[in-house]
Amino acid sequence: MPKQSANMSGLQCLATENIWFDKQRYDEAERRFYEGVNGPSSPQQQVKTALQQAKGRQQKRQHRNSSSHGGGDQELVSRMKSLELENQTLHKVVQEMRAALQKLESRVVMLEKSPAAAAVPCAKAAPVKQVKVENGDDDDDDIDLFGSDDDDEEATRLKQERLDAYAAKKAKKPALIAKSSIILDVKPWDDETDMAQLEQCVRSVQMDGLLWGASKLVPVGYGIKKLQINCVVEDDKVGTDILEEEITKFEDFVQSVDVAAFNKI
């Protein structure tokens, strides 16, 4: 088993080696190619052809080596340029950080040197108000603890003027008049009562705050009809009791008066 692994490693090494095992076959093929192009040649020509072939192969090898070295140099140059740019950027950042640090250090030093100067504006912000106190009998005489009668009279006069102005302003506003709509049922004695004459009697009742409206005859039964009449009254001046009392005075036509409806306007 170890011997087989050793053989495998040797084959692998040979596979990786850059060896031209069949070089003679290629050389023979190249010689025949040139003979076919130029025709049969003498031994001198064969030697010359071999030299030319060797020189061509050497030039190709040099060209491959130079191209490989050139590509590596170009890559190295590009990497060097990128490193130089990165170095310049880092150098600039370091310089800016140093400048900022120096400013902070100088500011801290200034604050440490003048702590009292920073406290002066705070002390000036709240000045102490000095009160001058003088002793003497004249000052005591000038102080009026209970006020004077003139001030009381002036205040009373101003108060009364304001009350009068408010009362006058309130009097100018029109007062709200409360009104009501009333429907009365006026019943006659019998079916022979003259309903037209009964309505004239009812409408003849006139007083301040009373306004008669529409009316109609409503059947009650057995040929008897009642008068249903509407009126608008001012609540402060006319009431239902007064209306009933005035209408029932017409005893020849009116049997009774009832309030059918009462609505505030």
Tell whether pTM > 0.85: no
Give the residue from 234, 238, 229, 235 showing the smallest Cα distance to 257.
Answer: 229
Q: Residue 135 has what DSSP assignment?
A: -
Q: How far apart are the first and last CA of the chain?
A: 128
The tokens describing 222, both together, are 């057995």
Q: How many helices (H) and strands (E) does the chain have?
A: 8, 4
Q: How far apart are CA 250 and CA 202, in angstroms?
A: 8
Residue type, 109: V
pLDDT confidence of residue 247: 93
pLDDT confidence of residue 73: 72
Element (H, E) at 91: helix 43-113
Q: Look-up: residue for tokens 């040929």?
A: 223
pLDDT confidence of residue 72: 61
pLDDT confidence of residue 177: 80
Q: How far apart are CA 53 and CA 30, in angstroms?
A: 9
Q: How far apart are CA 254 and CA 80, in angstroms?
A: 133
pLDDT confidence of residue 38: 62
Contact predicate 261/180, CB 8 Å: no
Q: How far apart are CA 253 and CA 262, in angstroms?
A: 24
Q: How far apart are CA 151 and CA 162, in angstroms?
A: 17
Contact predicate 187/220, CB 8 Å: yes
Q: How far apart are CA 205 and CA 244, in angstroms?
A: 10
Contact predicate 227/217, CB 8 Å: yes
- Ranges under pLDDT 70 in the chain: 1-22, 34, 36-47, 49, 63-72, 115-150, 173-175
Residue type, 22: D
pLDDT confidence of residue 19: 55
The domains found in the chain, sorted by start residue, are 179-264 (3.30.70.60)
Grouping H, G, I as helix, E, B as strand and the rest as coil, residue 247 is: helix
pLDDT confidence of residue 70: 54
Element (H, E) at 104: helix 43-113
Q: How far apart are CA 120 and CA 115, in angstroms?
A: 9
